[in-house]
């Protein structure tokens, strides 16, 4: 079995997305967290961003590109539909989620690192916009168990990775917004089940 190391700070959506993909594929891995800014540059001299994954001594960066590599090296289960049109929709949704929801993470991180730099927008506006993004997701899901598919793929992992820690980013009301949308709540539960390792399920 390949030796896989995931370099990521804890709790960031891009790192969670990669970790969920490793779990979905039932690949053993270890996680190493950065201890300082120099680790980012050392592990990813090209862009200085994490996550980075090392497989058999070779390093890959950018969560989307990492998922492509995982699919090439470990095809089962695939993270994209075999139907090219569906695969395009899944990739597009992954990109949409990261573009649409990253804003809320940035807002949160700014507020944590520098209270002076808080976004001047009233919180209610932010919550309203966020709520609309969740409605968009419900519409994209339609009646399917997963986005555009009956099996979990990279779009589902992207949505889950942003929404499961969203209360950290926008406050606990944000979690309530997810919970009150039954379709999203059940989708999150399905992704969680699909990425829970057997030994963890036994411990519950
Ligand atoms: N597009 C990249 C984004 C990764 C990213 O933004 N990582 C952030 C953590 S959330 C980072 O490493 N920031 C360090 C920095 O900006 O110096 C991906 O999908 O992996």
Please give the full DSSP string across 35-89, using - where no structure is assigned.
Answer: SSHHHHHHH-TTT--S-EEEETTEEEESHHHHHHHHHHHS-SS-SS-SSHHHHHH
Instruction: Give the length of the chain.
Output: 204
CA distance 132 to 70: 33
Task: Put residue 39 in one of left, alpha, beta given phi > 0 → left and psi -120 to 50 → alpha.
Answer: alpha
CB distance 127 to ligand 1 below 6 Å: no
Task: With beta carbons less than 8 A apart as the criterion, state whether 9 and 34 touch.
Answer: yes
Domains in the chain: boundaries: 4-73, 84-194
Convert the pLDDT of each residue in 16-26 to its tens digit. Answer: 999 999 999 99
Q: In b/e form, how buried is each residue of 160-197, taking b as 16+ CB within 10 angstroms?
A: bbbbbbbbbbbbeebbebbeebebbeebbeebeebbee
Atom 11 of ligand 1, residue of closest alpha carbon:
49
**Helix or strand holding residue 31 (H, E):** strand 30-32
Tell me the mean pLDDT in the region 138-146. 95
- If one looks up domain 84-194 in CATH, what number appears? 1.20.1050.10
Which sign does the torsion angle of CA 16, 71, 192, 196 carry? negative
Task: With beta carbons less than 8 A apart as the criterion, state whether 24 and 157 touch.
Answer: yes
How many angstroms does the Cα of residue 51 sit away from the middle of ligand 1?
7
- Under the banding of pLDDT at 50, 70 and 90, the label for residue 33 is very high
How many angstroms does the Cα of residue 50 sit away from the middle of ligand 1?
5
**pLDDT score, position 3:** 93
Beta strands 52-55 and 30-32: pairing type? unpaired
Cβ-proximal residues to 120 (8 Å cutoff; 6+ apart), any chain:
none
How many angstroms does the Cα of residue 165 sit away from the middle of ligand 1?
16
Atom of ligand 1 nearest to the CA of 64: 19
Tell me the mean pLDDT in the region 151-167. 90
Tell me the mean pLDDT in the region 43-56. 97
Atom 10 of ligand 1, residue of closest alpha carbon:
12
pTM above 0.85, yes or no: yes
**pLDDT score, position 179:** 83
User: At residue 117, does pLDDT exceed 70?
Assistant: no
CA distance 62 to 95: 12
User: At residue 136, does pLDDT exceed 80?
Assistant: yes
CA distance 107 to 200: 33
**pLDDT score, position 120:** 46
- Under the banding of pLDDT at 50, 70 and 90, the label for residue 177 is confident
Q: What percent of the chain has pLDDT over 90?
A: 66
**pLDDT score, position 71:** 98
Q: Hey, how many other C-beta atoms are within 10 angstroms of the C-beta on 135?
A: 13
Is 4-73 a domain of CATH 3.40.30.10? Answer: yes
CB distance 78 to ligand 1 below 6 Å: no
* C-alpha closest to that of 80 among 135, 18, 151: 151
**pLDDT score, position 105:** 64
């Amino acid at each position: 079995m390949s030796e896989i190391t995931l370099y990521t700070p804890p709790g960031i959506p891009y790192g969670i997305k990669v970790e969920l993909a490793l779990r979905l594929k039932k690949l053993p891995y270890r996680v190493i967290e950065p201890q300082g800014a120099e680790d980012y540059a050392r592990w990813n001299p090209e862009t200085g961003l994490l996550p980075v994954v090392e497989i058999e001594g070779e390093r890959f960066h950018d969560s989307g590109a990492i998922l492509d590599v995982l699919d090439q090296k470990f095809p089962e289960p695939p993270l994209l539909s075999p139907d090219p049109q569906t695969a395009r929709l899944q990739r597009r949704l992954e990109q949409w989620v990261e573009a649409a929801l990253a804003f809320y993470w940035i807002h949160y991180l700014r507020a944590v690192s520098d209270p002076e730099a808080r976004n001047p927008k009233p919180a209610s506006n932010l919550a309203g916009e966020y709520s609309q993004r969740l409605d968009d997701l419900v519409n994209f899901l339609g009646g399917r168990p997963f986005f555009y598919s009956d099996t979990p793929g990279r779009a589902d992992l992207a949505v889950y990775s942003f929404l499961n820690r969203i209360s950290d980013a926008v406050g606990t009301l944000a979690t309530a917004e997810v919970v009150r949308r039954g379709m999203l709540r059940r989708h999150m539960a399905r992704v969680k089940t699909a990425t829970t390792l057997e030994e963890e399920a036994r411990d519950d």
